[in-house]
Amino acid sequence: EVQLVESGGGVVRPGGSLRLSCAASGFTFDDYGMSWVRQVPGKGLEWVAGINWNGGSTGYADSVKGRFTISRDNAKNSLYLQMNTLRAEDTALYHCASNSSSWYDYWGQGTLVTVSS
């Protein structure tokens, strides 16, 4: 069974940092690109960052560029998102998702990040 399980969310003050993790199982992790997609509760999906199968190529939404860093460890079947200089507008449920082509095959349930003073 394919599983993507996110962790690391929580409450953080504006300007603070947080590191999210995504543990993958049930599929060949290094055959897939990976992304973080966020969703404000009750709102739509927003792509945040993506990384190719070997970590050699990454991309970021303009809203997080320079503040967030995506990385992966294929030996540990894990994906990460280092989030710095957090803002209130970064408050959302963060999903990790895998892609073998131009759509997302698998999604995790998400981990909630709340940025509040």
Q: Which of residues 7-46 bind other proteins (CB under 8 A)?
A: 35, 37, 43-46
Q: At residue 57, what are phi and psi to the nearest 5 degrees?
A: -140, 130
- Minimum CB separation of residue 87 from other proteins in Å reads 19
Q: What single letter denotes the amino acid at residue 11?
A: V
Is there binding between residue 107 and other proteins (CB under 8 A)? yes
**What does the radius of gyration of the chain's CA atoms come to, in whole angstroms?**
13
Question: Does residue 72 touch other proteins according to CB under 8 A?
Answer: no
N-to-C CA span, the chain: 40
Question: CB-wise, 37 or 83, nearer to other proteins?
Answer: 37
From the list 15-23, 66-74, 82-90, 97-105, the region that binds other proteins by CB under 8 A is: 97-105
Query: Residue from 21, 55, 61, 114 that binds other proteins (CB under 8 A)?
Result: 61
- Residue 12 has phi, psi (to 5 degrees) of -140, 150
What are the backbone dihedrals phi and psi of residue 65, each rounded to the nearest 5 degrees, phi first?
Answer: -60, 135
**Alpha-carbon gap, residue 117 to 115, rounded angstroms:** 7
The residues of the shown chain that bind other proteins, judged by CB under 8 A, are 35, 37, 43-47, 50, 59, 61, 95, 97, 101-105, 107-110
